[in-house]
Amino acid sequence: MGRGRYVWPVLVVGAAAGAGTALLWTLPDMFGDALPDRIAVHWGPNGKADRWVPSSDLRGSGTVPWLVTCAIALGIGLYGWPRRMLRGSMGAVLGGGLGFFGAIQYSTVAVNAGATDWRETSIPWWHVVLVLTALLLGGALGYWTGSRGPDHRPERSEPPKTSRIPLHKGERTVWIGYCHNRWIPWVGGILTLSSMGPLVTAEDPDLSFVLMITFSLLFTALVLSALTSVRVLVNERGLHVRLGLPGLTAKRIPLDRVVSAYGAEFRPTQLGGWGYRITPDHTVLMLRGGPCLVVRQTGTERDFVVSVDDADRAAALLNTLREHPPR
């Protein structure tokens, strides 16, 4: 695509940044002089205002995060404009960001209009629904718009040759491998203890506040427990990957869908970071850098990559079973 792969993202993001900034700056003018000098900008779980800014700062408080969002979208576009999925991701960031910040700006202005004291304002529940709906619809529309056009996918390289495991007739074998992440439990523990601070320091916590914190902690603990380790099973049925303590199934690839498998060394930065990732060329379950099992399968252009120790042996068995399936 030449220079176009860099010019188009700049033009698209620049136009979106200008249009979004104009929207955020003109929204307060819709209510004329009805805004007080001090504007409530944050409300607690009980719906009561607990933070304010001068009305002169309202435009900037919405514009700055919007421009940061545009910078993130520009980075995505410059990195992968030729790829349809990354163009769609750039559009989703722009559309979702504009819908989110625009809805927040409208909600803030509407709630404060006509108020004499910022402490008297309260935010209706449907404003929260409005913000979330604008975020989701804007993101979906942005992704749909950005993913139009051709997908310039590079040619897939041939997988490296791997060894095979000799199996006698009628012989059955199973390979089980593990991978553990040692720092995620520590980070989860620190975040969990930190998030308990509001329960201890709040002067008058209401029931909704306590329930929100409790369910947030339970959800965080479940997610972190799932990402602490992975168990990979290879047998005559194919590949089966389970996550962490709950044993949740993360991926299952039947043997008849396996094209080839091999072991490779990857760093998290090469495949989009830690956790579960979907890139234009890979579906990734990355818990740590190092040996990974890579499985190419039918029905998709994305290779499956999972962090696991002794990945070469897992690939050898998977290839052997694929070429000589048990009867």
- For residue 51, list its beta bridge partners: 42
Question: Residue 25 is encoded by which pair of tokens?
Answer: 């700056």
DSSP, res 164: -
Q: What is the pLDDT at residue 200?
A: 58
Instruction: Report the side by side order of strands in the sheet with 248-254.
Output: 175-180, 229-235, 238-243, 248-254
Q: What is the pLDDT at residue 159?
A: 74
Q: What is the pTM of this model?
A: 0.67
Give the start-end residues of each E strand in 171-221.
Answer: 175-180
Question: Which DSSP helix (H) or strand (E) runs through 303?
Answer: strand 303-307
> Is 26's pLDDT higher than 60?
yes
Collapse the DSSP code of 8 into the 3-class scheme (helix H, G, I; strand E, B; otherwise coil) and give the result.
Answer: helix
pLDDT, tens digit, 9 for 90 and up, residues 78-128: 988 888 888 999 999 999 999 999 999 999 998 888 888 888 888 888 888
Which band of pLDDT confidence, cut at 50, 70 and 90, is reported for residue 32? low
Helix count (H) and strand count (E) of the chain?
A: 8, 11
pLDDT, tens digit, 9 for 90 and up, residues 221-268: 667 767 788 999 999 999 999 987 767 888 999 999 999 999 999 988
Sign of the CA dihedral running 191, 197, 199, 200: positive
Question: Residue 261 is encoded by which pair of tokens?
Answer: 């498998």
Is residue 139 within 8 A of residue 92, CB to CB? The reply is: yes
Is residue 57 within 8 A of residue 38, CB to CB? The reply is: no
For residue 68, CA distances in Å to 63, 65, 101, 275 come to 9, 5, 12, 24
Mean pLDDT of 14-35: 87
pLDDT, tens digit, 9 for 90 and up, residues 279-296: 878 899 999 889 999 999
Is residue 43 within 8 A of residue 122, CB to CB? The reply is: yes
Q: What is the pLDDT at residue 125?
A: 80
Which band of pLDDT confidence, cut at 50, 70 and 90, is reported for residue 327? low
Q: What is the pLDDT at residue 205?
A: 53
The C-alpha atoms of residue 229 and residue 231 are separated, in whole angstroms, by: 7
pLDDT, tens digit, 9 for 90 and up, residues 160-205: 777 788 877 777 789 999 998 877 767 666 666 665 655 555 555 5
